[in-house]
Structure 1
Amino acid sequence: MPSDARLLLLDRDEVQSLLLPDDVLEAVREAFVLHSHGEGRVFPVVREPLVTGGVFGIKSGDVQAQGLLGFKAAGFWPDNRRLGGAPHQATIMLIDPATGRPVCLLDGNAVTTMRTGAAGGLGLQQLARADSTSACVFGTGVQARVQLSFALRLLPALVEVRYATVDGQRDAAFEAQFAHRCDILPARDRNAAVSESDIVITATPGAGALFDTQAVQPGTHLNCVGADTKGKRELPEGLLERVRLFVDDQAQARQIGETQWAADMPCIELGDLLTGKARADRHPTDITVFDMTGLALQDLTVARLLHQRAGAAGVGSSIPWAW
């Protein structure tokens, strides 16, 4: 058997140095399009609680025509904060589909963060009202920051942001990151902030409803990120029955996303909007929701981009990997 194969390793800093928002946006768009055309497969998700208090998951898939195969092993370990680490942990592996040999192993934290932000941005482009000027963001962590960053990047009319923290306190660092791009202040009242916003972004651990159903006004669009496991939710009971629902993957959203709380609701996949298989035809008074559970294909298209870019730039550590 061949013994001269090599495995490329990309650590956190190397991955971050190679990630560019516009390139990630295009890679994520490609993932949605491949999914819509049935050219990219998404395999059943593993998402299981651990006795340690963490949640472990595997997302995997392939694009057979492109020779793209791999998985992301990831999850949420809340006790990591006490240890000085990030609670979300992810590792991505690309595999040669012809042989099963691993070709690239890379840190998946930054990939997960940015590809999810890019997916949220595409959702806003497709579903939010074009005249949207105000947003309410729930959460100020890594995912809330990237969601807002892509929102401001892709919606130039967005100028006013209100945010809500878990303890109701001001987050000076969060404000400082965006103060030069918008008018940003903490939300004094969550329901009032929602009712006064054109866009609502929920990026929390998904521990429960963040606001009341009646706070959501006609014409609002909501990007929902935090529900990614059975039992999680961010939206209040009864809201999904009032909205037009859009998802990244129907089966996955009904299993672990916000859609699990209204699994019989009709929904449209975002990829079908991008390929023209479906149309949003938003009316000014429609309430729209994009339930984001994260596609394995997004991780793979971005990881392939990084693998190619690292090879061209001579970035990463190449180690022997006999097979």
Structure 2
Amino acid sequence: MTPAVRCLDDAEVDRLLTLDDAVTTLRRALGSEPAMAPVSMPKALGTWPDGSLHALGAHWTSSGYAGVKTWINTSAGAQSVYCLFDTAAGGLLGIFRARSLGRLRTAAVGALGLQAMVPADTGTLALLGTGRQARAQLAGAAAVLPLTRVRVWSPTTEHRTSFSAAMADEFGIEVIPAGSVADAVRDVGAVVTVTRARAPFLRAADLRPDVHINAMGAILPGAAELDADVVRSARSVVVDDVASALENSTELRTALRDDPGFSGRVSPLGEVLRAPGVVRPGLTIFKSVGLGACDLVLAVRVYEAARLGAADHTRTDPTTTQAQEK
């Protein structure tokens, strides 16, 4: 008998999946042996002057699942949806509103990048960007590091001031607005960038020589956060997916153009989770452009939690509600 399709909205996803659970689940799946790990599809992307359309999928035949997330971004708004399938029977298992799923995935992937590449006692962080994903990135960092002080930069004074005050209240740590990028990153152990910048703003001269950078923004063609000298200075560059990152990251494409041997310095996150010794001491970068396997792993976790729960999730179609996606 074909199972009923489970339709979940963002509130249900938030109820069924915590950030800590997302980090643990992703670490276990991505760090598993390649034969057992989920396999991502190449990212599909279409752009036009006022927006972009994306699709990101994966299959996980060892667990019996496949899925695809698709989303649209425009100046007027954004929407996203995730479809989960059964690889054995070929059936549709679930349709989820994907705003919360995407937020949790992005936060958890960022947390894994920090956990894998930053000393465990790192207490200082610079957060560059105060947009829709910034709070999730700070939550991810706070979940894996003993943060005591965070400096926040945004080009808009009001944004960085109000965001810093709100985050200090929420996380109970010192969160300070910084007047410049250089002030924000001075002497911190880790930097998280999460912007839609069209031109690089983070320079190597402003950074500690042993700093780690989680570059979580600038995922569209032509966007960039890191100056070329930052990427050149990196001893280790880790990405969620090598082929996708070298194709979709402006910063990494530029580095590869300038140095054809650059790709040899780039490692996938799964390899680092299995063998942390591949990360060299010095300035390090984790660049995330999105990985279908991560969405799939968390969608499976949510689906199985819903299936085991007592609530009936088969009656509400989440595509009839509104949500926004970065």
**Aligned partners of 2:54, 2:32: CA distance in 1, in Å?**
23
Return closer, same or farther for 1:36/1:163 CA change in 2, 3 Å cut-off. Answer: farther
Equivalent position to 1:262, from 255, 261, 272: 255
Match of 1:155 in 2: 145
CA shift at 1:132, angstroms? Answer: 2.3
Does residue 318 of structure 1 match 2:307?
Answer: no
**Aligned partners of 1:217, 1:22: CA distance in 2, in Å?**
29
Tell whether the 8 Å contact from 2:153 to 2:178 is kept in structure 1 after alignment: yes
Tell whether the 8 Å contact from 1:247 to 1:268 is kept in structure 2 after alignment: yes
**Aligned partners of 2:312, 2:154: CA distance in 1, in Å?**
37
**Aligned partners of 1:316, 1:140: CA distance in 2, in Å?**
37
Match of 1:165 in 2: 154
CA shift at 1:254, angstroms? Answer: 0.4
CA shift at 1:303, angstroms? Answer: 0.7
Give SS of 1:317's match. coil
Does residue 127 of structure 1 match 2:125?
Answer: no
**Aligned partners of 1:43, 1:222: CA distance in 2, in Å?**
26
Equivalent position to 2:48, from 43, 47, 50: 50
Tell whether the 8 Å contact from 1:72 to 1:93 is kept in structure 2 after alignment: yes
Return closer, same or farther for 1:316/1:256 CA change in 2, 3 Å cut-off. Answer: farther
**Aligned partners of 1:184, 1:63: CA distance in 2, in Å?**
40
CA shift at 1:37, angstroms? Answer: 4.7
TM-score, normalised to structure 2, is: 0.87
Letter of the aligned partner of 1:275 in structure 2?
Answer: R
| Residue-by-residue CA offset, 1:55-103 (whole Å, 9 max, x unaligned) | 11111111112111111102422322xxxxxx4x321110122333211
Deviates more, 1:219-228 or 1:159-168: 159-168
In structure 2, runs of 5+ residues without a counterpart are: 317-326
**Aligned partners of 1:114, 1:224: CA distance in 2, in Å?**
17
Give SS of 2:196's match. coil
CA shift at 1:35, angstroms? Answer: 7.5
**Aligned partners of 1:76, 1:139: CA distance in 2, in Å?**
19
Return closer, same or farther for 1:47/1:35 CA change in 2, 3 Å cut-off. Answer: farther
Match of 2:240 in 1: 248
**Aligned partners of 1:289, 1:18: CA distance in 2, in Å?**
32
Deviates more, 1:36-45 or 1:122-131: 36-45
Tell whether the 8 Å contact from 2:121 to 2:145 is kept in structure 1 after alignment: no
Match of 1:307 in 2: 303
Tell whether the 8 Å contact from 2:245 to 2:252 is kept in structure 1 after alignment: yes
Match of 2:321 in 1: none
**Aligned partners of 1:227, 1:272: CA distance in 2, in Å?**
24
RMSD: 2.3
CA shift at 1:246, angstroms? Answer: 0.9
Does residue 10 of structure 1 match 2:8?
Answer: yes
CA shift at 1:245, angstroms? Answer: 0.8
List structure 1 runs of 4+ shifted beyond 6 angstroms. Answer: none
Letter of the aligned partner of 1:26 in structure 2?
Answer: T
TM-score, normalised to structure 1, is: 0.87
Deviates more, 1:186-195 or 1:53-62: 186-195
| Residue-by-residue CA offset, 1:194-216 (whole Å, 9 max, x unaligned) | 23321110011232212333112
Match of 1:190 in 2: 181
Tell whether the 8 Å contact from 1:8 to 1:318 is kept in structure 2 after alignment: yes
Match of 1:83 in 2: none
CA shift at 1:34, angstroms? Answer: 4.5
Give SS of 1:100's match. coil
CA shift at 1:247, angstroms? Answer: 0.8
Match of 2:320 in 1: none
Does residue 76 of structure 1 match 2:73?
Answer: yes
Match of 1:220 in 2: 211
CA shift at 1:143, angstroms? Answer: 1.4
Tell whether the 8 Å contact from 2:152 to 2:164 is kept in structure 1 after alignment: no
Alignment of 1:15-54 (within 5 A): 15-34=13-32, 36-37=34-35, 39-50=37-48, 53-54=50-51
Deviates more, 1:202-211 or 1:31-40: 31-40
CA shift at 1:181, angstroms? Answer: 2.6
**Aligned partners of 1:37, 1:231: CA distance in 2, in Å?**
35
**Aligned partners of 2:15, 2:118: CA distance in 1, in Å?**
31
